[in-house]
Amino acid sequence: MSEMTANSLEDKFQAAPIVPLIEADDPGVAVHTAKALQAGGLDVVEVVLRTDAALDCMEAIVKEAYGIIVGAGTVLTVDQAEQVLSRGVQFVVSPGLVDSVARYCLDRSTPMFAGTMTAGEVQRAYALGLRTVKFFPAKLAGGVPMLKALSSVFREMRFMPTGGVSAKNLSEFLAVPSVIACGGSWLTPKGSIEAGDYNAITKLAIEAVALAKAARP
Protein backbone atom coordinates (compact mmCIF):
# COMPACT_ATOMS: atom_id res chain seq x y z
CA MET A 1 0.00 0.00 0.00
CA SER A 2 2.82 2.42 0.79
CA GLU A 3 4.37 2.04 -2.65
CA MET A 4 0.95 2.62 -4.19
CA THR A 5 0.55 5.66 -1.97
CA ALA A 6 3.84 7.12 -3.20
CA ASN A 7 2.71 6.60 -6.79
CA SER A 8 -0.69 8.07 -5.99
CA LEU A 9 0.97 11.13 -4.49
CA GLU A 10 3.05 11.56 -7.63
CA ASP A 11 -0.10 11.35 -9.77
CA LYS A 12 -1.94 13.86 -7.59
CA PHE A 13 0.97 16.30 -7.61
CA GLN A 14 1.20 16.10 -11.40
CA ALA A 15 -2.40 17.27 -11.60
CA ALA A 16 -2.28 19.77 -8.72
CA PRO A 17 1.06 20.27 -6.90
CA ILE A 18 -0.50 21.81 -3.80
CA VAL A 19 -1.01 20.42 -0.29
CA PRO A 20 -3.51 22.41 1.81
CA LEU A 21 -3.06 22.34 5.58
CA ILE A 22 -6.09 21.58 7.73
CA GLU A 23 -6.10 22.55 11.40
CA ALA A 24 -9.35 21.53 13.07
CA ASP A 25 -10.64 20.57 16.49
CA ASP A 26 -13.85 19.03 15.17
CA PRO A 27 -13.87 15.94 12.91
CA GLY A 28 -17.02 17.08 11.13
CA VAL A 29 -15.47 20.43 10.28
CA ALA A 30 -12.32 18.65 9.08
CA VAL A 31 -14.34 16.44 6.74
CA HIS A 32 -16.30 19.39 5.34
CA THR A 33 -13.05 21.29 4.78
CA ALA A 34 -11.40 18.36 3.01
CA LYS A 35 -14.43 17.84 0.77
CA ALA A 36 -14.53 21.55 -0.06
CA LEU A 37 -10.89 21.38 -1.13
CA GLN A 38 -11.58 18.25 -3.15
CA ALA A 39 -14.46 20.01 -4.91
CA GLY A 40 -11.92 22.63 -5.99
CA GLY A 41 -9.54 20.05 -7.41
CA LEU A 42 -7.23 19.33 -4.47
CA ASP A 43 -7.16 15.67 -3.43
CA VAL A 44 -4.18 15.68 -1.06
CA VAL A 45 -4.47 17.26 2.40
CA GLU A 46 -2.22 17.56 5.43
CA VAL A 47 -3.96 17.52 8.81
CA VAL A 48 -1.67 19.11 11.36
CA LEU A 49 -1.20 17.81 14.90
CA ARG A 50 -1.97 21.13 16.53
CA THR A 51 -5.28 20.39 18.26
CA ASP A 52 -6.41 17.77 20.76
CA ALA A 53 -8.80 16.33 18.17
CA ALA A 54 -6.28 16.19 15.31
CA LEU A 55 -6.03 12.39 15.31
CA ASP A 56 -9.81 12.04 15.20
CA CYS A 57 -9.96 14.60 12.38
CA MET A 58 -7.45 12.61 10.32
CA GLU A 59 -9.34 9.38 10.85
CA ALA A 60 -12.67 11.00 9.97
CA ILE A 61 -11.36 12.30 6.64
CA VAL A 62 -9.81 8.92 5.84
CA LYS A 63 -13.13 7.18 6.48
CA GLU A 64 -15.62 9.73 5.16
CA ALA A 65 -13.93 11.58 2.31
CA TYR A 66 -13.50 9.13 -0.56
CA GLY A 67 -10.59 9.69 -2.93
CA ILE A 68 -8.59 12.04 -0.72
CA ILE A 69 -5.03 11.21 0.28
CA VAL A 70 -4.59 12.23 3.92
CA GLY A 71 -1.26 13.09 5.49
CA ALA A 72 -0.34 14.01 9.04
CA GLY A 73 1.58 17.21 9.68
CA THR A 74 3.58 18.53 12.65
CA VAL A 75 4.70 15.00 13.54
CA LEU A 76 7.50 15.48 16.07
CA THR A 77 8.24 12.02 17.53
CA VAL A 78 8.20 8.32 16.68
CA ASP A 79 5.26 7.89 19.06
CA GLN A 80 3.29 10.48 17.10
CA ALA A 81 4.25 8.84 13.80
CA GLU A 82 2.96 5.54 15.14
CA GLN A 83 -0.28 7.18 16.30
CA VAL A 84 -1.03 8.90 13.00
CA LEU A 85 -0.31 5.79 10.95
CA SER A 86 -2.69 3.83 13.18
CA ARG A 87 -5.39 6.29 12.11
CA GLY A 88 -4.89 5.47 8.43
CA VAL A 89 -2.91 8.44 7.17
CA GLN A 90 -0.83 7.83 4.07
CA PHE A 91 2.11 10.19 4.49
CA VAL A 92 3.91 12.02 7.28
CA VAL A 93 5.19 15.61 7.44
CA SER A 94 7.50 17.07 10.10
CA PRO A 95 8.63 20.66 10.67
CA GLY A 96 12.21 19.45 11.17
CA LEU A 97 14.45 16.46 10.51
CA VAL A 98 14.74 13.86 13.27
CA ASP A 99 16.61 10.71 12.30
CA SER A 100 14.47 8.32 14.35
CA VAL A 101 11.21 9.62 12.86
CA ALA A 102 12.62 9.48 9.34
CA ARG A 103 13.87 5.92 9.85
CA TYR A 104 10.53 4.84 11.32
CA CYS A 105 8.73 6.00 8.18
CA LEU A 106 11.39 4.68 5.80
CA ASP A 107 11.24 1.24 7.45
CA ARG A 108 7.50 1.20 6.71
CA SER A 109 7.86 2.61 3.18
CA THR A 110 5.65 5.51 4.26
CA PRO A 111 6.21 8.73 2.30
CA MET A 112 7.80 11.21 4.70
CA PHE A 113 8.51 14.91 4.20
CA ALA A 114 10.95 16.03 6.88
CA GLY A 115 11.47 19.74 7.37
CA THR A 116 14.80 21.17 6.18
CA MET A 117 16.13 24.68 5.68
CA THR A 118 19.91 24.30 5.42
CA ALA A 119 22.35 22.40 3.22
CA GLY A 120 23.41 20.36 6.26
CA GLU A 121 19.87 19.22 6.93
CA VAL A 122 19.21 18.35 3.29
CA GLN A 123 22.47 16.37 3.18
CA ARG A 124 21.52 14.48 6.33
CA ALA A 125 18.11 13.70 4.88
CA TYR A 126 19.79 12.43 1.72
CA ALA A 127 22.16 10.24 3.74
CA LEU A 128 19.20 8.76 5.62
CA GLY A 129 17.58 7.78 2.33
CA LEU A 130 15.01 10.53 1.89
CA ARG A 131 14.71 11.95 -1.61
CA THR A 132 11.91 14.44 -1.02
CA VAL A 133 11.89 16.88 1.89
CA LYS A 134 9.85 19.77 3.17
CA PHE A 135 11.52 23.19 2.86
CA PHE A 136 10.37 25.08 5.93
CA PRO A 137 9.76 27.86 6.70
CA ALA A 138 10.11 28.49 3.00
CA LYS A 139 9.85 32.26 2.89
CA LEU A 140 12.01 32.93 5.95
CA ALA A 141 14.55 30.27 4.93
CA GLY A 142 15.45 32.09 1.73
CA GLY A 143 12.54 31.37 -0.57
CA VAL A 144 13.08 30.64 -4.24
CA PRO A 145 16.76 31.72 -4.37
CA MET A 146 17.63 29.30 -1.54
CA LEU A 147 15.68 26.50 -3.20
CA LYS A 148 17.57 27.04 -6.44
CA ALA A 149 20.88 26.98 -4.60
CA LEU A 150 20.04 23.75 -2.78
CA SER A 151 18.70 22.16 -5.96
CA SER A 152 21.93 22.84 -7.84
CA VAL A 153 23.89 20.84 -5.25
CA PHE A 154 21.40 18.12 -4.35
CA ARG A 155 20.31 17.17 -7.84
CA GLU A 156 18.31 14.10 -6.77
CA MET A 157 16.39 15.89 -4.04
CA ARG A 158 12.91 17.29 -4.44
CA PHE A 159 11.31 19.84 -2.18
CA MET A 160 7.91 20.78 -0.77
CA PRO A 161 8.16 24.43 0.29
CA THR A 162 5.77 25.34 3.10
CA GLY A 163 5.56 28.42 5.27
CA GLY A 164 4.91 31.76 3.67
CA VAL A 165 3.62 30.23 0.43
CA SER A 166 0.51 32.02 -0.85
CA ALA A 167 -1.47 32.65 -4.01
CA LYS A 168 0.86 35.60 -4.67
CA ASN A 169 4.08 33.57 -4.81
CA LEU A 170 2.83 30.05 -5.59
CA SER A 171 3.80 30.34 -9.25
CA GLU A 172 7.35 31.41 -8.36
CA PHE A 173 7.88 28.36 -6.16
CA LEU A 174 6.34 25.97 -8.69
CA ALA A 175 8.62 27.35 -11.40
CA VAL A 176 11.57 25.70 -9.61
CA PRO A 177 11.90 22.25 -11.27
CA SER A 178 12.87 20.46 -8.04
CA VAL A 179 9.66 21.55 -6.28
CA ILE A 180 7.27 18.60 -6.22
CA ALA A 181 4.46 20.54 -4.53
CA CYS A 182 3.79 23.47 -2.22
CA GLY A 183 2.10 23.29 1.15
CA GLY A 184 0.07 26.10 2.61
CA SER A 185 -2.62 27.23 4.99
CA TRP A 186 -3.89 30.12 2.84
CA LEU A 187 -6.39 27.68 1.31
CA THR A 188 -8.10 27.05 4.64
CA PRO A 189 -8.65 30.47 6.28
CA LYS A 190 -9.97 30.20 9.82
CA GLY A 191 -12.58 32.89 9.27
CA SER A 192 -14.23 31.01 6.41
CA ILE A 193 -14.17 27.73 8.31
CA GLU A 194 -15.61 29.25 11.48
CA ALA A 195 -18.37 30.84 9.39
CA GLY A 196 -19.10 27.52 7.69
CA ASP A 197 -18.34 29.15 4.32
CA TYR A 198 -16.94 26.08 2.59
CA ASN A 199 -17.73 27.54 -0.82
CA ALA A 200 -14.99 30.11 -0.16
CA ILE A 201 -12.51 27.29 0.41
CA THR A 202 -13.56 25.59 -2.82
CA LYS A 203 -13.08 28.88 -4.65
CA LEU A 204 -9.57 29.29 -3.22
CA ALA A 205 -8.74 25.74 -4.29
CA ILE A 206 -9.98 26.37 -7.83
CA GLU A 207 -7.87 29.52 -8.04
CA ALA A 208 -4.78 27.69 -6.74
CA VAL A 209 -5.19 24.86 -9.25
CA ALA A 210 -5.47 27.42 -12.05
CA LEU A 211 -2.29 29.14 -10.87
CA ALA A 212 -0.50 25.80 -10.73
CA LYS A 213 -1.59 24.86 -14.25
CA ALA A 214 -0.39 28.21 -15.55
CA ALA A 215 2.96 27.74 -13.83
CA ARG A 216 3.30 24.16 -15.08
CA PRO A 217 1.39 23.83 -18.35
Q: Which of 59, 134, 148, 168 is an active site residue?
A: 134
> Mean of the pLDDT values across residues 177-203?
97
Q: Which of 46, 121, 190, 207 is an active site residue?
A: 46
Give the CATH number of the domain where residue 144 resides.
3.20.20.70
**Residue 11's pLDDT band (cuts 50, 70, 90):** confident
Percentage of the chain lying above the pLDDT 90 cut: 93
Q: 9, 52, 53, 12: which is closest to 30 by C-alpha?
A: 53
* Domain tally, the chain: 1
Give the whole-angstrom CA distance, residue 108 versus residue 110: 5
Give the whole-angstrom CA distance, residue 153 versus residue 160: 17
**pLDDT given for residue 173 in this prediction:** 98
Catalytic site includes residue 46? yes
**pLDDT given for residue 184 in this prediction:** 94
Under 8 Å between Cβ of 45 and 71:
yes
| Domain of residue 170, residue span | 2-215
Which pLDDT tens digit goes with each residue over 61-115?
999 999 999 999 999 999 999 999 999 999 999 999 999 999 999 999 999 999 9
Which pLDDT tens digit goes with each residue over 129-179?
999 999 999 999 999 999 999 999 999 999 999 999 999 999 999 999 999
Flag whether pLDDT at 16 surpasses 90: yes
